[in-house]
Amino acid sequence: MWHRVLRSHRAFRPSTRDAGKSAWTRRYSLVTLRYHGRLNRKLYKSAVRHSEPRDYIKMDSTLVFIVLASSTLAFIYVANRRNQALFPPTPPGQWFLGNVKQIPARQPWFQFAAWRELYGDIIHLKLINKHMIILNSKKATLDLLDGQSNIYSHRPKSVFLDEVLDFSNDVFRVRADDPHFKAHRRMMHSGLGPRAVREYQPLQIQETNTMLRSLAEDPDKFIAHIRRNAGALIMKVAYGYTVSSVDDYYLKLVERHFEILEETMSLPLMIEFFPTLKYLPSWFPFTGFRKAEKMIRDNMTDRIPYDWAKKQVESGNFVDSFFARFFQKEDGATTSQDEERMLMRVCAALYIGGADTTVAALTSFFYLMETHLEIQQRAQSEVDAATGGDRLPRPDDEGKMPYLTAVIKETLRWSPVVPLGLPHSVDRDDIYDGYLIPAGSSVIANIWAITHDPETYPNPDVFEPDRHLGENPQPNPFDFVFGFGRRSCPGSHLAERSLFQNAANILAVFNIDKKRDPQGNPIEPTVEFRGGGISHLKDFPIKIIVRSPHLLPTT
* Smallest distance, ligand HEM to C-beta of residue 67, A: 46
* Smallest distance, ligand HEM to C-beta of residue 253, A: 17
Cα separation, 555 vs 545, in Å, equals 19
* Smallest distance, ligand HEM to C-beta of residue 34, A: 56
* Smallest distance, ligand HEM to C-beta of residue 298, A: 23
Cβ closest to ligand HEM, residue 277 vs residue 443: 443
Residue 549 C-beta-side C-alpha neighbours within 13 Å? 1
Query: Would you say 155 and 424 are in contact if contact means Cβ atoms under 8 Å apart?
Result: yes
How many CB atoms lie under 10 A from the CB of residue 361? 27
Alpha-carbon Rg for the chain, nearest whole angstrom, is 30
* Smallest distance, ligand HEM to C-beta of residue 360, A: 7
Task: From residue 457, give the alpha-carbon distance in Å to each of 47, 111, 367, 414, 466.
Answer: 76, 20, 21, 10, 12
First to last CA, the chain: 94
Pairing of strands 130-135, 442-445: parallel
Cβ closest to ligand HEM, residue 123 vs residue 361: 361
* Smallest distance, ligand HEM to C-beta of residue 326, A: 15
* Alpha-carbon dihedral 97, 101, 102, 108, rounded to 10 degrees: 120
Cβ closest to ligand HEM, residue 237 vs residue 277: 237
Task: From residue 168, give the alpha-carbon distance in Å to each of 22, 333, 344, 352.
Answer: 56, 28, 14, 16
Cβ closest to ligand HEM, residue 327 vs residue 484: 484
Instruction: Answer yes or no: is 347 a known binding residue.
Output: no
Residues that bind ligand HEM (CB under 6 A): 171-172, 192, 234, 349-350, 353-354, 357-358, 361, 417-418, 421-422, 481-484, 487-491, 494-495
Amino acid at 325: R
Cβ closest to ligand HEM, residue 347 vs residue 544: 347
Cβ closest to ligand HEM, residue 135 vs residue 159: 135
Cα separation, 337 vs 317, in Å, equals 23
Cα separation, 288 vs 290, in Å, equals 5
Cβ closest to ligand HEM, residue 460 vs residue 483: 483
* Smallest distance, ligand HEM to C-beta of residue 133, A: 14
* Smallest distance, ligand HEM to C-beta of residue 339, A: 18
Amino acid at 183: A
Cβ closest to ligand HEM, residue 217 vs residue 320: 320
- Please give the DSSP secondary-structure letter assigned to residue 396: G
Cα separation, 455 vs 448, in Å, equals 14
Comparing CA positions, the residue from 134, 188, 192 lying closest to residue 419 is 134
Helix, coil or strand: residue 250: helix
> Which residues are known binding-site members?
489
> Which residues are known binding-site members for heme?
489
